[in-house]
Structure 1
Amino acid sequence: MRGPAWPIGALLVGYPLWWALGFGGLSVIVLAVPMGVLLWRRRPIQVPRGFGLWALLLAGYLVSALMLAETPPGTYGELGPGRVVGYGMRLALYAAVLVMVLYLGNLTERELPQLRLVRMLGVLFVTTVAGGLLGVLLPEFSFTSPVELLLPGWAGENAFVQNLIHPTAAQTQKVLGFSLPRPEAPFEWANAWGSNVSVLLVWFVVGWWVHGGQRQKLFVAGLIGLAAVPIVYSLNRGLWIGLGLAVLYVIVRVGGRTRVALCGAVTAATLAFALSPLAALVAQRLDKPHSNDIRAFTVTATVAAAGHSPFIGYGNTRNAMGNHRTITTGKTEWCEGCGHPPLGSDGQLWLLIITQGFTGAALYVAFFLGAIRRHWRDRSPVGLAGVLVMGLVLLYMFVYDGLVTPLSLYLISFALLWRNSQRSDV
């Protein structure tokens, strides 16, 4: 893409290259630099309503650094390079997405047409489906990225950093009582893949179905059918619930012939799925909610630890003493499940509570709730889709971490709503 909009094209269309280099979700931090330069050159800068909440969230995270060396009751660990690096990455990401939203909102429709931005998100959806299929067909696929080669050894040993810089096709986990790969390429975790594919699907439909011709609609239908394979194999209940609620939302908010056609399409798709081999896998997953006990333990421990620093949190995650099965800390030969789960790892809400206290969590919720309230009356395709994504953000915060790539997609969706309101005000 030429002109001042090139950084967003490099981020969305060029994402597979970033992933292969080892930047992946960190690419938005790199590209925030040219975005910031472009913003500085076109002062004064327009700011969306409600964005002060995000600025306060960022300011609160800066203050939370004061607690990095503290160890709340029920946790263990000392301040080390890994904790500091993790804090720094999250801080850089929060700042980068702030710059990205301002950059997108200050580009004119001529510099970056709204439909072009939506369709670039659709291109990333195609990439995500391809990565999901790679995870299903070649789950062991992985390689050492250039970034991984350049980083010092201690950085590569940090689990959080390792997931960001080491490209893999899938996460292998014991979910149904035996090891099964869950697609994650080209993102950092299987849960990130689940969150991202649902958000990108929304924009893919808007860009290539709603605003597409007959051939494009056939392509959309075929690709969504293909996407069902990695979506089911992801064994991701949060994703499945999100997609179900998204369909219900659209049926309720659209009217007339569109609603009738959509109900018919959903019925046909449901019947086809029920007759396919994928239905049995979904039934097995619903019968084995293996992560419920783990999540209950970490959420309870997170809230308890945050109670000792309720306003500014602890700046980063902490490891719990023991887990939901035992007070033993760390894996042993006789207890492979005796790990030390990091608090705040089961959803963005819990991550904010441990890192920034209940204040940070409240600011995050208020930011996305405010976006829904302001744009609810926008019944254009972008308006309906953007409000839907804001709703998915509030759903997913209970089960998915927003860091790293999901947060970028959430804020791009916010920027699309803001740009849409600017056009309606002209």
Structure 2
Amino acid sequence: MSRAAWPIAALLIGYPVWWALGFGGLSVIVVAAPMAVVLWRRRPIRVPRGFGLWALLLAGYLISGLMLAESPPGTYGELGAGRILGYLMRLALYTSVLVMMLYLGNLTERELPQLRLVRMLGVLFVTTVAGGLLGVLFPAFSYTSPVQLLLPDWIGGNPFVQNLIQPTAAQTQMVLGYAAPRPEAPYEWANAWGSNASVLLVWFVVGWWVYGRTRHKVFATVVLALAAVPIVYSLNRGLWIGLGLAVLYLIARVGGRTRVVTCGLVATAALAFALSPLAPLVAQRLDRPHSNDIRAFTVSATLAAATHSPVIGYGNTRNATGNHRSITTGKTQWCPTCGHPPLGGDGQLWLLIITQGFTGALLYAAFFLGAIRRHWRDRSPIGLAGVLVMGLVLLYMFIYDGLVSPLSLYLISFALLWRNS
């Protein structure tokens, strides 16, 4: 690996350090600066097909800033530091992941071999599994990060910012009728852990099993067995659905002996899981779809608000008036985290609709759909895995926010497909 490739290694392999310092998902903004320097020095810069869609998405977000002071019917709040800060943070993230994608696509195979990049993602999967086990075994683990100590209270005290900069092992929620910890380390919240775990698992299998030697495959088997524990304890239905669809995709797209081996491995893993003590927990979670009513309320409120600015949106999220139970809701002494739910918080699609209107949502979906269409015929392991991840992105945009850390992995996966073509 050449010196030009060190920023991506620092991001993926060094992610536990970023998380411990309090940067976490925001670390891509930091490493985007040296990536931009590398790009500048090797002009002219190559761009992938579909680049224009992301450029339009970014330009649309700039225009949506004109609506920051407005509040659609059914929402409340005035323009303040928190709204502006959130807008600027998302703008920095959208720009940084674009720089990262171009940086990866302009490195040569000699500077950064494809397999090395895939295995870096595999290393991050191991970190993700370790963080998940930390959340299962020590859910109360949390501390004040160096970044928190340096930030003024008016920034660090913001609940959204605090989630990003405070290292926390698990997120406790009333999911099973009681307070259940859901692993989130080393990411910003439990759903981000679920999204990232599934995407990284795909690349881990490619790098450490498909292209691995015997010792790599033994290591991969142990890691995947350990990963089952936090995956189940995450109580994350979206993650479970994503993994199930990933298995069906692989069975449908691979052929011959590979399909037979895949089916055998899946059947063995399914039987082992069914006989394990983890299976009853999954059944218990499926019997308690506690978040369905909340999601239905916020999605309908998001769509209603977006109709008042359907082209450019409102630049940032807005808080709904009331919730799915009552119009008179808010924080109380016994529930300090209760309150009016933010619109767009139940999936990247809904976030884009409220922040950038239906135009932004269409551009985002078209970007990843285009990648699937262009690379569908690439039946190499990296091609099959990349198309699978693009499909997961489209599934997850209905249930997971792409910001903060997931979007970085989505664009790295896109860059792997681009480099493979």
**TM-score normalised according to structure 2 size:** 0.99
Query: Which deviates further from its counterpart, 293-302 or 158-167?
Result: 158-167
Kindly state the Cα deviation for residue 130 of structure 1 after the two structures are TM-superposed. Answer: 0.1
Matched, 1:189 2:154: no
Alignment of 1:8-407 (within 5 A): 8-332=8-332, 339-407=339-407
1:243-286 CA-to-partner distances (Å, cap 9, x unmatched) read 00000000000011111111111111111111111000000000
Give, in whole Å, the separation in 2 of the partners of 1:160 and 1:237.
23
CA contact (8 A) 1:75 1:319 kept: yes
Kindly state the Cα deviation for residue 215 of structure 1 after the two structures are TM-superposed. Answer: 1.2
Letter in 2 for 1:221: T
Identity of aligned residues (%): 83
Give, in whole Å, the separation in 2 of the partners of 1:161 and 1:347.
18
Summarize the Cα distance change of 1:328–1:336 in structure 2 as closer, same or farther, 3 Å threshold.
farther
Give, in whole Å, the separation in 2 of the partners of 1:261 and 1:114.
25
- RMSD of aligned C-alpha atoms? 1.1
Kindly state the Cα deviation for residue 140 of structure 1 after the two structures are TM-superposed. Answer: 0.4
Give, in whole Å, the separation in 1 of the partners of 2:63 and 2:416.
30
CA contact (8 A) 1:322 1:338 kept: no
1:52-72 CA-to-partner distances (Å, cap 9, x unmatched) read 100000000000000001111
**TM-score normalised according to structure 1 size:** 0.97
Kindly state the Cα deviation for residue 300 of structure 1 after the two structures are TM-superposed. Answer: 0.2
CA contact (8 A) 2:238 2:399 kept: yes
Kindly state the Cα deviation for residue 332 of structure 1 after the two structures are TM-superposed. Answer: 3.3
Letter in 1 for 2:353: I
Give, in whole Å, the separation in 1 of the partners of 2:88 and 2:336.
31
Give, in whole Å, the separation in 2 of the partners of 1:77 and 1:286.
36
- SS of the aligned residue for 1:228 comes to helix
CA contact (8 A) 1:323 1:338 kept: no
- SS of the aligned residue for 2:79 comes to coil
Letter in 1 for 2:41: R
Please name the residue that 1:424 is paired with. none
CA contact (8 A) 2:2 2:112 kept: no
Give, in whole Å, the separation in 1 of the partners of 2:334 and 2:12.
45
Letter in 2 for 1:210: V
Letter in 2 for 1:49: R
Give, in whole Å, the separation in 1 of the partners of 2:29 and 2:246.
30
- SS of the aligned residue for 1:403 comes to coil
1:184-230 CA-to-partner distances (Å, cap 9, x unmatched) read 00000100000000000000000010110111111111110110000
- SS of the aligned residue for 1:180 comes to strand
Letter in 2 for 1:315: G
Please name the residue that 2:411 is paired with. 411
Letter in 1 for 2:384: L
Runs of 4+ displaced beyond 3 Å: 332-338
Kindly state the Cα deviation for residue 378 of structure 1 after the two structures are TM-superposed. Answer: 0.2
Letter in 1 for 2:19: W
1:372-393 CA-to-partner distances (Å, cap 9, x unmatched) read 0000000000000000000000
Query: Which deviates further from its counterpart, 330-339 or 37-46?
Result: 330-339
Kindly state the Cα deviation for residue 331 of structure 1 after the two structures are TM-superposed. Answer: 2.6
Kindly state the Cα deviation for residue 154 of structure 1 after the two structures are TM-superposed. Answer: 1.1
CA contact (8 A) 2:232 2:281 kept: yes
1:141-200 CA-to-partner distances (Å, cap 9, x unmatched) read 011111111111011221211111001000000100000100000000100000000000
Letter in 2 for 1:344: G
CA contact (8 A) 1:328 1:338 kept: no
- SS of the aligned residue for 1:48 comes to coil
CA contact (8 A) 2:2 2:111 kept: no
Kindly state the Cα deviation for residue 399 of structure 1 after the two structures are TM-superposed. Answer: 0.3
Kindly state the Cα deviation for residue 329 of structure 1 after the two structures are TM-superposed. Answer: 3.1
Give, in whole Å, the separation in 2 of the partners of 1:382 and 1:271.
28
